[in-house]
Amino acid sequence: MSTVQAPPARPSPAERITQFIERNGGDHKCWFIGVTCNPREQLICEHCINSTRDPFLIIGCDTADEARRVEYSLRKKLGGWGKRFDGLDPAAIFVYTFRLSSATVPNLT
């Protein structure tokens, strides 16, 4: 009788972000976590990251509600930077994070 093993479960968006931060510097207070519908534009235009130098991660969620829950729970549990929005854009399904530097907005200076 053969046994078939289920593939390992994929980590949740929060777990994936936490693992990424821990692999790329670890101190959660030096990271920004946000939610948007257009992550590349947000990262490059608003936060001024350098995509070849600054570590960043973009995770797509199924809904904007899920993205907000992920962002809120990570900032509450681990600390770090971010900003709260009163409105909820249904297209804002991406959670993103980047490590703060002297060149990013906000920055470490």
pLDDT digits 0-9 by tens, 2-47:
677 777 788 999 999 999 999 998 888 899 999 999 999 999 999 9
pLDDT at 8: 76
Centroid of chain to Cα 48: 16
Tokens describing residue 85: 């929005």
∠ CA 43-74-54, rounded to 5°: 30
Q: What is the pLDDT of residues 51-60, one digit of tens each?
A: 999 999 999 9
Q: What is the pTM assigned to this prediction? A: 0.86
Residue spans of the domains in the chain: they are 19-99
Q: Which of 85, 107, 76, 103 is nearest to 35 (CA)?
A: 85
Spatial distance between the Cα atoms of 109 and 105, rounded to a whole number of angstroms: 10
